[in-house]
A and B are shown apart, each in its own frame.
Chain A
Amino acid sequence: MSTPKRRLTTFLNQVPLFLGLVLLWMLLWGAFSWLNVLTGILLAAVVSVGFYLPAVQLGLRLNPWFTLLYLARLGFDIVRGSLQVAALALSPRYTPSNAIVAVHLRTRSDFILTLTGVSTSIVPGAIVVDVDRVRSTLYLHVLNVHRPEQVERFRNGVLAEEHRIVMALGSREDVERLRQVSGEDRSEQNQRARDQHAREKRKRKGST
């Protein structure tokens, strides 16, 4: 890749974030005026330079239809998840039984990893306990899990969430990777993780 082209990509990467900051400034004022736009641009520049962070790599791709689908599903899931947790909190026969589940995501993008983590935290289910960025793995705490099938169903749910996000705004490479990594491969890897877990548990029991 030539240097000017790379510089252009970096610049394009910054534009949506910069515009987002300006938009937020206008939202806080609750009105549109040219003075707001001007002060917004100034402040956004000050914030991006003053609080400098390594730039996040956006995919620079947005599919409006899949984004709409993702947002609609997210809204539905927020309602469903809230009702589930509320029902659990109020249920008289509540017995605590939780799980911490590792989900290996297929993406290699920090942006998609973060979005998936945030999305799964507000929909039925999970709280991100730890993130392994190198392996793109989320460690999620799941409420009210009693049987192994439920763990598997939850894992598939998170992978479906990731799929929706990548289709909506992942980069082209991510979409390609999604196609290449078959579900079979994944479940094999999960099976291996489970086997290891069972082995270590047995070992621990044997030693005590």
Chain B
Amino acid sequence: MSDELQDVISAVLVLTGAVMCLAAGIGVIRFPDVLSRLHAATKPQIFGLMAITADVAVNNFTVGTVTLVIAIVVFQALTAPVAAHMVSRAAYDSHRVRVDVLVIDELGTRPD
């Protein structure tokens, strides 16, 4: 791989990761309640992490790095939703949800 191409790939990946993490941070501040903020804290953040770890793998292309990067991404993808679920469930059960921004709440009216 030529050096220039590698530089371009690195720049794109790092910038994508940085923008995603920035958007996640802004989302956490701007979104109105706990449940919406969790969206910001899980989704762009995973993509940002994927971009940055992919950059590490591209620049340091060894079996050890690549497998470790895969492990990092897989475990982040498996644990972030579970953590978000725990927080959202606690928030819902303790009524820390803004009901006025919900167009429909099928959990509040579920059959017992």
Contacts and interface: CB of A to CB of B under 8 A. Distances in A.
A128 B39 contact: no
B81 A128 contact: yes
Contacts of A81: 43, 47
Given A121-B80, A122-B77, A145 B103 contact: yes
Contacts of A200: 109
A95 to B, nearest CB: 9
B30 interface: yes
Interface string A121-156: 110000111111000010101010111100100000
B64 A31 contact: yes
Interface string A164-208: 000000000000000000000000000001001100110000000
A90 B26 contact: yes
A91 to B, nearest CB: 9
A207 B103 CA distance: 20
Contacts of B52: none
Interface of B, helix, strand, loop or mixed by DSSP? helix
A99 B23 contact: no
Given A96-B32, A117-B81, A129 B46 contact: no
A148 B111 CA distance: 21
Contacts of B77: 78, 118, 122
A102 B77 CA distance: 23
B42 A89 contact: no
Interface residues of A, number: 49
Nearest to B73: A78
B36 A98 contact: yes
Contact of A102 (B63, B71, B81, B107): B107
B71 A130 contact: no
Interface of A: 24, 27-28, 30-31, 78-79, 81-90, 94, 96-102, 117-118, 121-122, 127-132, 137, 139, 141, 143, 145-148, 151, 193, 196-197, 200-201
B80 A86 contact: no
B32 A121 contact: no
Please provide the 7 A-B residue pairs with the shortest distance between their CB atoms, ordered closest to farther.
A89-B27, A121-B81, A30-B64, A82-B47, A86-B23, A102-B106, A96-B101
Nearest to A128: B85
B13 interface: no
Interface string B39-59: 110111011101000000000
A129 B47 contact: no
Given A99-B102, A127-B81, 12 more contacts: A30-B68, A78-B46, A79-B47, A82-B44, A100-B104, A100-B105, A118-B82, A122-B43, A129-B92, A130-B107, A197-B109, A200-B109
B27 to A, nearest CB: 3
A197 B106 contact: yes
Contacts of A127: 35, 38-39, 42, 81, 84-85, 88
B110 interface: yes
